[in-house]
Amino acid sequence: MRRNYRNRVWASVTSRDNALLADLQRVLGDRVRADSAERALLRRDASVFEGGDAGPTCLCETTEEVQQVVRIALAHGRAVVPRGAGTGLAGGAIPLGAPVVISLSRMNRIVDVDTESRIAWVEPGVVNLDLTKHLTPLGYHFAPDPSSQQVCTIGGNVGNNSGGPHCLAYGVTNAHILAIEVVLADGEIVTLGGLDAEPSGYDLRGVFVGGEGMLGITTKVAVRITPNPPAVRTLLLSFDTPRDAAATVSAVIAAGIVPAAMEVMDQRITIAVENYVNVGYPRDAGAVLLAEVDGLPDGVEIDAQRISDIGRAHGATDVRQAQSDEERMLLWKGRKTAFGAVAQIAPNYYLHDTVVPRSKLADTLEEVYRIADEHDLAVVNVFHAGDGNLHPLLLFNGQEPGIYDRVHAAGAKIVEASLAAGGVLSGEHGIGVEKQPYMRQMFSDDDLDHQERLRHAFDPACRSNPGKVIPVGHSCADIQSLRATPEGVWG
């Protein structure tokens, strides 16, 4: 976990790097950066985890450039790490062992939109929300909408198989990816999947989505585009306790309604969010449920009414319906920026992403609050209630001595409680380095062996984003490819 910057030696470019740099510069010119500022900044993504210094950073613009960089890195015995906007929450893009960082943020062209076939070809650096904005005038959108959608990139969405509030009805990223052009770890360019409804052979596209950069680097993606619904209703329900909100969510699903989204926030985070968006989130409610239904006008009217009734039957103290698109957008803006708003409460956060069966949601939540109390930590909960995906944020001040040990311990307990409730480690943020130590709690040695073999099928030498996901000690080749012991991460 994060340690203090103070103990760090500012990295300088070593002579070994000079030969590598010269080769990279031949391909990319001044789009290679290897100064100490850049190397230090890329130690982090949006999580609390901090890797070692990055090696040279390559701002690639084409698939061929990515291919050449991968080959040059390979020739110099160095690993590669792909990076988009760096908004990951599990340390998936942080550098371990001074790898060459392949930044894809400049590969941000929307190559082709075919509304007839409902397919768009995009480059990996396209910002998720930019794609939807581009599609809006055509009557379409890209359905996966992670909370960070205003900045996160499609490449990162593919790498983490990202979810988002509206994935409750529409499915996560995997359901919206048809084909992926990939540069494999040896520099070969392949296309996984295809545009046919039922591509022949193994579904390697499905294997690759969620691969966290360990199976190769995404350089182009064919995404499915979704028609905008004719009608949308957004409800904001207030409750005295998170338990009531969670019970409402279970009851709504049990009643056979499939809302587009159902999101819960507890009181502390609701107040922080309201401070930012000023849209009238209730500051005095113990929890709020943001529920959205979309579809044909008559249907959404009925569903909105039913959700409202179910809410009131489960203790909703107030039900409000967004009266305009503007109000709707502001309510969502509040929900989607919740993680960023926590700095109003404390300067650091550590966020978990476990998923539990919906029926266990209320109990697990109470357990989370208890664990935080026990470790004398502040916690806020904001989560995709509809699919049981918890996002407890432990809030703390990293400057406090010994605080990381407490945060670490509380995090482990939360994972334990979630797994005990029949849950899984990650809903949508990926494993990265964050959940790596918990993998053994979830998977047997046999499971991990198979995951490792699959990874080797794509990347036999473990050069692509090494040191992530599969627990250290299980994967020998990963250790060999790390130039130095990873510094500053867990353990």
Partner 1 sequence: MDLGIDPDRLGTCVQCGLCLSSCPTYRVTGDETFSPRGRIALMRQVQLHDAPLTPEVTEAFDTCIQCLGCEPACPSVVPYGHFIEATRTALTEHRGSRKRAIALWPLTKPRLLRLGSTLLAIAQRLRLVPARLGLPRRLPLRQPPHRTSGTDVYLFTGCVMDVWQREVHFATQRVLEAAGFGVTPTGDSAGCCGALHTHAGLAADGERLTERVDAALDLNIPIVVNSAGCGAHLKQHSSHQIFDAQEFLAEHLDRLPDVTPLDLTVAIQDPCHLRHVQRAHLPTRTLLKKFVRNVTELDDDGLCCGAGGAYSVLQPDMSQQVRDRKVASIERSNPDLVASANPGCSMHLAAAGVAIDHPMVIIDNALTRR
- Least distance (Å) from partner 1 to the CB of residue 151? 4
The token pair at 357 is 């069966």
Between 214 and 273, CB nearer to partner 1 = 273
Distance separating alpha carbons of residues 232 and 300, to the nearest angstrom: 7
Nearer to partner 1, 335 or 468 (CB): 335
Q: Structure tokens of 461? A: 């030498």
Q: Which is nearer to partner 1, 317 or 337 (CB)?
A: 337
Question: Is 246 in a helix, a strand, or coil?
Answer: helix
What is the spatial order of strands in the sheet that 261-266 belongs to? 318-321, 231-239, 287-295, 261-266, 378-384, 392-396, 348-351
What sign for the dihedral angle of Cα 271, 275, 277, 282?
positive
Nearer to partner 1, 125 or 486 (CB): 125
Please, which residues bridge with residue 238 across strands? 288, 318
Q: Find out whether 277 and 340 touch, Cβ atoms under 8 Å.
A: no
Comparing CB distances to partner 1, the nearer of 125 and 211 is 125
Nearer to partner 1, 106 or 118 (CB): 106
Residue 92: name the closest of 139, 45, 143, 133 by CA.
45
Residue type, 415: V
Given the complex with partner 1, which of 42 and 90 has the nearer CB atom?
Answer: 42
Contact 65, 72 (CB under 8 A): no
Q: Is 466 helix (H, G, I), strand (E, B) or coil?
A: coil
- Report the C-alpha gap between 212 and 110 in whole angstroms: 22
Q: Is 474 exposed, middle or buried (0-12, 13-18, 19+ CB in 10 A)?
A: middle
Tell me whether residue 76 or residue 106 sits nearer to partner 1 (CB atom). 106
Nearest approach, Cβ of 40 to partner 1 (angstroms)?
7
Tell me if 146 sits within 8 A of 164, measured CB to CB.
yes
Smallest gap, in angstroms, from Cβ of residue 275 to partner 1? 7
- Compare residues 9 and 197 and give the one whose CB is closer to partner 1: 9
Strand intervals (E) in 169-212: 177-183, 189-193
Q: Which is nearer to partner 1, 57 or 234 (CB)?
A: 57
Torsion of CA 128, 133, 137, 138, to 10 degrees: -10
Q: Taking Cα atoms as reference points, which of 467, 480, 360 lies closest to residue 90?
A: 467
In angstroms, rounded to a whole number, what is the distance separating the alpha carbons of residues 395 and 105? 30
Which is nearer to partner 1, 17 or 478 (by Cβ)? Answer: 17
Nearer to partner 1, 125 or 216 (CB): 125
Which three-class secondary structure state does DSSP give residue 422?
coil
Give the SS3 label for residue 84: coil
Question: Residue 294 and residue 261: Cα distance in Å, rounded?
Answer: 9
Q: What is the DSSP string of 359-420?
A: GGHHHHHHHHHHHHHHTT-EEEEEEEGGGTB--EEEEE-TTSTTHHHHHHHHHHHHHHHHHH
Inter-residue contact 232 to 321 (CB < 8 Å): no
CA 306/CA 252 separation, integer angstroms: 8
| Minimum distance of partner 1 from residue 352's CB (angstroms) | 16
- 119 versus 346: smaller Cβ distance to partner 1: 346
Binding site for partner 1 (CB under 8 A): 5-6, 8, 10, 33, 35-38, 40-42, 44-46, 57, 59, 85-87, 103, 105-106, 108, 125, 127, 129-130, 133, 148, 150-151, 272-273, 275-276, 337-344, 347-349, 397, 399
